[in-house]
Structure 1
Amino acid sequence: MNDQAQGLRDLVQTREAGVRETRVITVTSGKGGVGKSNFTLNFAIGLQKRGYKVLVFDADIGLANIDVLMGVTPKYNLYHLLKREKTISEIIYNGYHGLQFIAGGSGFNDLIRLSDDEVQYFSKEVEQLNGQVDYILFDTGAGLTKETMAFILAAQETIVVTTPEPTSITDAYAIIKMVTNMNHRIDFKLVVNRSGDEREGKQTAEKITLVSQKFLNLPISTLGYVTDDALVSKSVKRQIPFTIAYPNCSASRSIDALVSRYLQEELRSRKAVAEGQGVKGFLSRMFRLVK
């Protein structure tokens, strides 16, 4: 409760000072099936509950499902923005706790084929979000696709979601290694999903963080773990985020702890948006990478 109150005080002070920083976060995973989108959604709701304005951008090409997890069927998605049929405000939908989201559909496939005029239109529309929300979370596709790599390299920070399964750990490290070997220093944060208990969560995280430090000379922050909770799959079937459907279940308590940890780390270094940061900087870097 103290963490939450402090976070709200810091947010109010920041806004009173005229500083409105929109922070862009990419959420990714080395392989599919680790619960990345479910984590993204519930983590975003956790931030929203703390008084922050959050928008989730479903960037999972071909497997966009943020809307499905909330039982919403958007009439318009990113495709309609790219085709100039709708403005950015017309494709934003509201979910639980006022959480805003943009459905991806097949739209992100078209990003690499946009003309210069279309890039300018898209960028101008998305830049309107800068200062209107505190956080934009891009839920990317799993694996090492060109589009996913562009989002990772363009964002201010990347949350990597893994599970205790050996293949998931290996694939998560592979993403971190590839980005680092491209001479990009990204602020990676690690989340262990579907952990049997705290001990397994810590052991899984250490396998990645220790190897990253030893072989890549890259320190990685561990946000924490989300327990393997049967009520999570139950909430998916109900199409209600588990932090809403079962706010007191072990997975929901894990998310609350993760949000607290994230805000403690992020608020300590909260500053005005530096040149090249924010939404405009993100878009500029992303289009250089996907072209």
Structure 2
Amino acid sequence: MFDQAQRLRQIVPVATDEIRPATRVITITSGKGGVGKSNFSLNFALGLSACGKKVVVLDADVGFANIDVLMGQTPRRTLADLVQKKATIWEILELGPYGIHYIAGGSGLRDFLTLQPDQFEYLMLQLGELQGFADFLIIDTGAGMNQGTLRFILSSDDVIIVSTPEPTAITDAYALIKLITRESGRLLNMQLVVNRATSIMEAKQVAEKLSLVSKKFLNFDLKSLGYLLDDPKVSEAVKQQVPFFVRYPDSPASRCIDQLVRKQLKMPTGVQSMDMGIKSFLSRMRQVFRN
């Protein structure tokens, strides 16, 4: 009888990296905690899956990993097992709702900055196995401006910044955008999602404000992916440990997720296609790690 890892390996097309379809890497982050970033990451991934896309979610929120908690699941193995070279990528992949796969963060992983060179290289090689397995790799990072989070951001194909209409969240989002534009040596496709907006008008005002200051002071064209309306069903779903996109598919928040996903799927990437995919992501990660 084949184990789960063996079955997963068989799903991946037997092909070279050159002819496998590119797996688009999206890092989701925020300037501060408490804005609903992880909940958004999970439900956004579920929305992509509902549109027929194969998705892997990597919980890289070191110290506060909770993607598995939001689904009410207990993973057998986590990212900590991978970086400690105790398991392969196929052995830590867990199955979630709507057919998404996820990699739980694990409490044993303190910081990506503390990885030894051999641990980092093993992590890179294992993540490379996902090329061709999924259409999207969604990376849920920690909030704030730490170097571990910045590494994922600077290496990704796309970056989604989550903010709320609160002044502190907007200020911290701008500070993060400023840091990213300063540190990045290439054109990044960076988009904004306004979470917990009380109205469409409020969401648009927040997006326009951040876009205006980014253009004026950073000479950066910040795109708006959209918004999620404030919805009591979201907190109810969190308490039930069921993603709101699954538990309340007709709720305002779920309809917003559907709109965001469909816009994402129509939006062209901001980088050249030859620079996309896990292979390019890992190449950039190695360069950032060396620096």
Q: Answer yes or no: same fold by TM over 0.5.
A: yes
Tell me if 1:251 matches 2:259: no
Q: Distance in 1 between matches of 2:82 and 2:144?
A: 26
Q: CA deviation at 1:290?
A: 3.7
Query: Which residue is 2:241 aligned to?
Result: 239
Tell me if 1:189 matches 2:185: no
Tell me if 1:49 matches 2:50: yes
Partner SS for 2:181: helix
Using structure 1 for the length normalisation, give the TM-score.
0.88
Tell me if 1:283 matches 2:282: yes
Q: Distance in 1 between matches of 2:228 and 2:34?
A: 15
Q: Distance in 1 between matches of 2:105 and 2:173?
A: 23
Amino acid at match of 1:240: V
> Is the CA contact (8 Å cut-off) linking 2:25 and 2:158 kept in structure 1?
yes
Query: Which residue is 2:127 aligned to?
Result: 126
* Aligned counterparts, 1:103-182, within 5 A: 103-106=104-107, 108-109=109-110, 111-182=112-183
> Is the CA contact (8 Å cut-off) linking 1:42 and 1:242 kept in structure 2?
yes
> Is the CA contact (8 Å cut-off) linking 1:41 and 1:241 kept in structure 2?
yes
Q: CA deviation at 1:272?
A: 8.8
Q: Distance in 1 between matches of 2:157 and 2:107?
A: 25
Q: Which moved more, 1:281-290 or 1:67-76?
A: 281-290
> Is the CA contact (8 Å cut-off) linking 1:147 and 1:290 kept in structure 2?
no
- Pair 273,148 (structure 1): closer, same or farther in 2 beyond 3 Å: same
Query: Which residue is 1:4 aligned to?
Result: none
Query: Which residue is 1:82 aligned to?
Result: 83
Q: Which moved more, 1:167-176 or 1:182-191?
A: 182-191
Q: CA deviation at 1:160?
A: 0.2
Query: % of aligned pairs identical?
Result: 49
Q: Distance in 2 between matches of 1:138 and 1:183?
A: 18
- Pair 66,279 (structure 1): closer, same or farther in 2 beyond 3 Å: same
Residues 129-171 of structure 1: CA deviation (Å, up to 9, x unaligned): 0111000010000000010111111111100000000000010
Amino acid at match of 2:96: G
